[in-house]
Structure 1
């Protein structure tokens, strides 16, 4: 069966256009920047192929300049999508430069020399594809599915076909300068573009689903009001910290905190101000903790922080810093001062479970509240000793 190059080109452009229209319907309006960039990448690629088709019917230099430009834009958008899904965008600076330099060099150089035009355009497009292929490697966020390898393979194969076309057009025959010449490499590139469209679309959909699943997991582990871990999310991570501290004989300190007279804040100022107070306290907890410390809202006005690799003496300094910041900032932002009670428990040799350590911290917190609030009590083997 003989393949018609123009038919293949039209099929590629139409398929890209249809997929570009279908993806927003499938994904819906509320999607991430990464998913939106992936949609726009396919749309830009569709425009590039329509420009290639139009080049065969007049204004070839202008149309092919547009084709080169939109192909580079498509690759830049795909790299931005990868950055959102995988955590980084290596080579983005180079790709942004290609978005400008590739069509500009093609337009200026192509006015004087068709061979230069072929070499420049194909080299820029191949380089853009290789940058995207590199962007799938060494992610900062690990992917649970192999969609990035699918995308890597597509980019690598298409870059190889682009290089082959550029080499043939530059060094062997000027007939390769036109996409619509039925040469083997042009046919292979058009067929490869159709196949890559299917595989890239699958990769995009899998990446989007993985992202959506990650968001659901985060929502299940996160307190909607404060943005801290909820009890479930906090417990999962605290269990790992507890096991690690036991395994390597490292110190671990747990502090339970409860905002004093929170019901009075709600009754006096309203629940909206009460929510603002909770968010303020959560923010100050994040700002006061160290990297590696774990903060969570366990329910209501009750919070908990695990200080990793920390002895009990450090809990006093943490309490004083947090208490001072809270009094100062609350008065400035809410118009009234706030304070809290705290209970501290330090990991001991006899602590077999996280629940036991949490129970000791909770008992110390109960003693702090019964002793007049606004203070910290440290658990000592089940007995409380007032620290502040």
Structure 2
């Protein structure tokens, strides 16, 4: 069976139209910016490819051809934006935008000169595909490896064949006189487009699924009211910090914190104001902690902070800064004073588990609550002693 460029490119167009129209039905309306960028990228690529195929049948195809180049360029930019949303900041973000603007402009100005416009458009499209392939290489987040490699393969093959078409159009025009020319390179590119459409869509769907799974994991480990890790999420990360401190013989301190008279706050000011107090306290914990410190809400009005590479005096300094901020901000933002009690424990050579360390801090917190509140007590192997 002999393959012709027109049939292959028409099939690619039908595939793109079908996928771009059905994908929103599959993914629904509640999408992240990355998933929405991927959807819009497919729509623009569908428009660009369809306009390019249709332009071959028009006597005057200038406007449609230029629009097709603009659609393809914009679609590739949105694909890069989707990768940025899924993988974190990507290299080449500015470069691909510059290329996306330059490509259709150069194509429009050189339209009357076939070798120039074909070489220009294909070389710049190939460069954008290279940038997209590069964007899949390193993940700053826990992104899946297989879908990134699948996309990398699609971008790499398309970049090579698109560049080859640019060489043919610019320097061997007789071998590639039209977009539908039956040149072996053009046939291979048309086959590759069909493969890239299918495999690329599969990769994007897997990326979207991974993102959804990650969001579910984050929701399961995050306190919805304060945005801090909940008990489950906190304990997972705290265990890792404790194990790391043990392995490298580094100091570590934990603070157990409990808001004072919180039930009275709810009774006097209402539960909405109580929620505001919890959110304020969580926000101040985030502002006070250092990079690498871990803060979480264990439940109710009880919070915990893990301070890696920290001794008791570091925990005392953290407590002093937090109290100063809370004293000022609670009056300003809540209209009433908010205070807390705290218990602190520092890791020793005898601590085999995080649970034992937390138990000492919790015992010190208990003494602080029953010894007048509004203070921090330090827990040793047994009873605590007053530090602040």
Q: Using structure 2 for the length normalisation, give the TM-score.
A: 0.97
1:261-281 CA-partner distances (Å, limit 9, x unpaired) = 001111111111111100000
The alignment status of 1:12 with 2:12, answered yes or no, reads yes
The alignment status of 1:289 with 2:315, answered yes or no, reads no
Q: 1:352 Cα shift?
A: 1.3
Cα separation, partners in 2 of 1:292 and 1:228, compared to 1, 3 Å: same
Give the match for residue 188 of structure 2. Answer: 188
- The question of whether the paired residues in 1 share the 8 Å contact of 2:115 and 2:173 is answered with no
Give distance in 2, aligned partners of 1:128 and 1:380. 61
Give distance in 2, aligned partners of 1:102 and 1:207. 28
Q: 1:177 Cα shift?
A: 4.2
- The question of whether the paired residues in 2 share the 8 Å contact of 1:255 and 1:345 is answered with yes
1:1-388 equivalence runs, <5 A: 1-58=1-58, 59-111=60-112, 113-174=113-174, 176-388=176-388
Report which stretch shifted further, 165-174 or 193-202.
Answer: 165-174
Report which stretch shifted further, 101-110 or 278-287.
Answer: 101-110
1:320-368 CA-partner distances (Å, limit 9, x unpaired) = 1101100100111111110000001111121111111111000000000
Q: 1:179 Cα shift?
A: 1.1
Q: Structure 1: state its 5+ residue gaps.
A: none
Give distance in 2, aligned partners of 1:55 and 1:276. 60
Q: 1:175 Cα shift?
A: 5.6
Q: How many residue pairs align between the two structures?
A: 387
Give distance in 2, aligned partners of 1:51 and 1:177. 19
Q: Which secondary structure does the structure 2 equivalent of 1:110 belong to?
A: coil
Q: 1:186 Cα shift?
A: 2.1
1:165-209 CA-partner distances (Å, limit 9, x unpaired) = 111111112462421222222222222111110100110011111
Q: Structure 2: state its 5+ residue gaps.
A: none
Give distance in 2, aligned partners of 1:98 and 1:144. 28
Aligned-residue Cα RMSD (Å) equals: 1.2
Report which stretch shifted further, 11-20 or 52-61.
Answer: 52-61
Give distance in 2, aligned partners of 1:175 and 1:315. 75
Q: Which secondary structure does the structure 2 equivalent of 1:146 belong to?
A: helix
Give distance in 2, aligned partners of 1:49 and 1:351. 64
Give distance in 1, aligned partners of 2:178 and 2:330. 70
